[in-house]
Chains A and B, each alone.
Chain A
Amino acid sequence: MAELLEIRWHGRGGQGAKTAAILLGEAVSISGKYIQAFPEYGPERMGAPVLAFNRISDEPIRLHCQVANPAMVVVLDATLIGKTDVTAGVPEDGLYIINTNLSPGEMRDQLGLADGKVYTLDATQISMETMGRNIPNTPMMGALIKATGLLTIDEFVANAKGRLEAKFRPDIVEKNIQAIERAYQEVQGEE
Chain B
Amino acid sequence: MSAAEKGWKDVPMGGLILEAGNAKEYETGDWRTHKPVWDEDKCSHCMICWVFCPDSAILVKDGKMQGIDYKHCKGCGICAHECPRKCIEMVLDTGKDGEAGASE
Q: Please determine if A and B sit in direct contact within the complex, based on CB atoms under 8 angstroms apart.
A: yes
A interface, CB within 8 angstroms of B: 12-13, 45-49, 77, 79, 82-83, 134
Chain B interface size, as a band, is 10 to 19
A79 near B28: Cβ-Cβ < 8 Å: no
With CB as the reference atom, state the residue of chain A lying closest to B31: A47
Partner pick for A79 among B74, B76, B95, CB 8 A cutoff: B95
Instruction: Mark contacts of B26-37 with chain A using CB atoms, 8 A cut-off: 1 yes-contact digit, 0 otherwise.
Output: 001011110000
Partner pick for A47 among B75, B92, B94, B95, CB 8 A cutoff: B75
- Tell me the minimal C-beta distance from B30 to chain A in angstroms: 4
B interface, CB within 8 angstroms of A: 28, 30-33, 74-76, 92-95
- Tell me the minimal C-beta distance from B3 to chain A in angstroms: 15
Prevailing SS type, chain B contact patch: loop
A48–B27 alpha-carbon span in the complex (Å):
11
- Tell me the minimal C-beta distance from B97 to chain A in angstroms: 13
A45–B32 alpha-carbon span in the complex (Å):
11
A13–B48 alpha-carbon span in the complex (Å):
27
B33 near A48: Cβ-Cβ < 8 Å: no
B95 near A82: Cβ-Cβ < 8 Å: yes
Identify 4 new A-B residue pairs, CB closer than 8 A, beyond the known A46-B31, A47-B31, A82-B95: A12-B33, A47-B28, A79-B93, A79-B94
**Residues of A contacting B31 with CB < 8 Å?**
12-13, 45-49
- Tell me the minimal C-beta distance from A73 to chain B in angstroms: 18
